[in-house]
Amino acid sequence: MTKIGIILGSTRTGRAGERVAHWVLEQARQRGDADYELIDLAEVDLPQIDEPFPPAMGRYTHPYTQQWARTVAAYDGYVIITPEYNRSFPGVLKNALDRVYAEWNNKAVGLVSYGMDGGVRAVEALRPVLGALQLADVAPQVTLNMRTDFADFGAKFTPGEHQGPALAAMLDQLLPWSNALAQTRASATPSPS
């Protein structure tokens, strides 16, 4: 079965993203079309990049980077949940993306953002990074507005009725892309002799 990692890209105390991540996970699991798992960057031990070699070389020296590489490699696709901080996405998410390379390649990703304007600028900043990692981002996305989809400045998450169908549309694109790219990865991997 296709494995999709739902990456919670914020580690801020009291983050609204935790409620968003659980909503995405619950909605996705109800579909029964893939194995969806939460990857919370607050629970992943990734200090700022400290590897002596560029990630594209694949020579990870630290145990936490090696573990992160195994985690990323285990999935066929991802949903990234990101807040918008100062017209971009959080540094912790950038650090997690930049730490490994080949493990992201030829996989699909869907985006869920949140912020005062739905987090759209975070997604705009994120898309070129995803392209550089050879991640195919699907066009449909979920944009959650702090004014209409949250109450008490993020303390309560009350997604509008249109958000469920928006998430379904994104996942409807993510799954076929993830499956198609799995075939691409399999054909690019030399078979054992």
Say yes or no to pLDDT of 27 above 90.
yes
Q: What is the mean pLDDT of residues 15-23?
A: 97
Q: What is the mean pLDDT of residues 119-137?
A: 98
Q: What are the backbone angles phi and psi of residue 187, rounded to the nearest 5°?
A: -75, -20
Rounded distance between C-alpha atoms, residue 5 and residue 112, angstroms: 13
Q: Using 50, 70 and 90 to split pLDDT, how confident is the model at 184?
A: very high
Average per-residue pLDDT for the chain = 95
Say yes or no to pLDDT of 190 above 90.
no
Token pair of 140, please? 């449909």
Rounded distance between C-alpha atoms, residue 126 and residue 41, angstroms: 16
Tokens 């054909």 correspond to 187
The pLDDT > 70 percentage for the chain reads: 97
Q: What is the mean pLDDT of residues 99-105?
A: 98
**66 Cβ neighbours under 8 A, 6+ residues apart:** 60
Find the DSSP H helices in 11-102. Answer: 17-31, 63-73, 91-99
Kindly calculate the radius of gyration of the chain based on its CA atoms and give it in whole angstroms: 16
For position 189, what pLDDT does the model report? 61
Find the DSSP H helices in the chain. Answer: 17-31, 63-73, 91-99, 120-132, 163-188
Say yes or no to pLDDT of 133 above 90.
yes
Token pair of 142, please? 């979920």
Question: How does 43-82 read in b/e, with b if 16+ C-beta sit within 10 Å?
Answer: ebebeeeeeeeebeeeebebeebeebbebbeebbbbbbbb
Rounded distance between C-alpha atoms, residue 178 and residue 170, angstroms: 12
DSSP 138: E
Residue type, 15: R
Per residue in 160-174, pLDDT (tens digit) is: 999 999 999 999 999
Domains parsed from the chain with CATH numbers: 3-188 (3.40.50.360)
Per residue in 30-68, pLDDT (tens digit) is: 999 999 999 999 999 899 999 999 999 999 999 999 999
Say yes or no to pLDDT of 193 above 50.
no
Q: What is the mean pLDDT of residues 120-140?
A: 98
For position 49, what pLDDT does the model report? 93
